[in-house]
Amino acid sequence: MQRIDKFLWFARFFKSRTLAASVVTDGRVRINGARCEKASAIVRAGDVLTFPAGSLVRVIKVLRGGERRGPASEAQTLYEDMTPPREIGPEKVVAPAKRERGTGRPTKKERRATDALTGDD
């Protein structure tokens, strides 16, 4: 048995306990499908947590409570990741923007050439 904010911090889902607590109090964490709004809510082994982490929604099953915020290898033993694999199709991959040479901002060399023509120093 452990507080949910402490568990999320021990399991290294959030960088600080304060950040974990704010996600919980905003109502963005669910314990076994029920919305949780108190950072003091207790999680037990077997509970399923659903919460946003970055750009995806994480689904984890609590295996045991933590005793300290140790290394990542130790944190991964606290839970089982049940997050469905992300499907990245070719339509979701965004290529970097391309522009034709000479369009957009001038380069440093082009600015110097313009300054030389106009007589600016």
Q: Compute the average pLDDT of residues 85-94.
A: 62
- Convert the pLDDT of each residue in 98-111 to its tens digit: 778 777 888 899 88
Distance between CA atoms of residues 84 and 59, nearest Å: 8
**Do 57 and 38 meet the contact criterion of CB atoms below 8 Å apart?**
no
Q: Could you tell me the pTM of the whole model? A: 0.70
What is the residue-wise DSSP string for 8-57? Answer: HHHTTSSSSHHHHHHHHHTT-EEETTEEE--TT-EE-TT-EEEEEETTEE
Backbone angles phi, psi at 109, to 5 degrees: -65, -40
Q: Where are the domains of the chain?
A: 2-81
Q: Quick check: 88 pLDDT over 70?
A: no
CATH architecture of 2-81: Roll (3.10)
Q: Quick check: 90 pLDDT over 70?
A: no
